[in-house]
Amino acid sequence: MNHSPGGITVAFVHGAFADSSSWAGVISELQGRDIRAVAIANPLRGIGYDGDYVASAVRQIDGDVVLVGHSYGGAVITHAGARVSNVRALVYVAVSI
């Protein structure tokens, strides 16, 4: 996957009862439309730890990032997004906050 500077990457974070593979179909669909997309594994150790982990992964992506979180992943992306300068948007999917 090309992570050239200046592009946008959609980064997906799963909830508590899933894993990164749950985003495979969505990522495949986006990549088929030339949209960069990745899944970031959620270690499920608590919001602070998980958010810091996701923030670390996002820092390694060149260009702007849109973070998408499902369920508990929504709390995680909120924590992560506040700690990284290249996050441009947060998208919540079936999140209760």
For the segment 31-79, what is each residue's pLDDT rounded down to a tens digit?
Answer: 999 999 999 999 999 999 999 999 999 999 999 999 999 999 999 999 9
The 10 Å Cβ neighbour count of residue 53 is: 20
Domain ranges of the chain: 8-93
The CA distance from 17 to 43, in Å, is 11
CATH number belonging to domain 8-93 = 3.40.50.1820
**What's the pLDDT score for residue 88?**
98
Residue in this structure with the two tokens 């209760």, named with its chain if needed = 96
**What's the pLDDT score for residue 6?**
56
**What's the pLDDT score for residue 2?**
45
pTM assigned to the model? 0.90
Instruction: Give the angle subtended at the CA of 66 by the CAs of 63 and 68, to the nearest 5°.
Output: 145
Q: Which residues contact 5 (CB under 8 A, 6 or more apart)?
A: 62, 63
Q: pLDDT confidence of 80, banded at 50, 70, 90?
A: very high
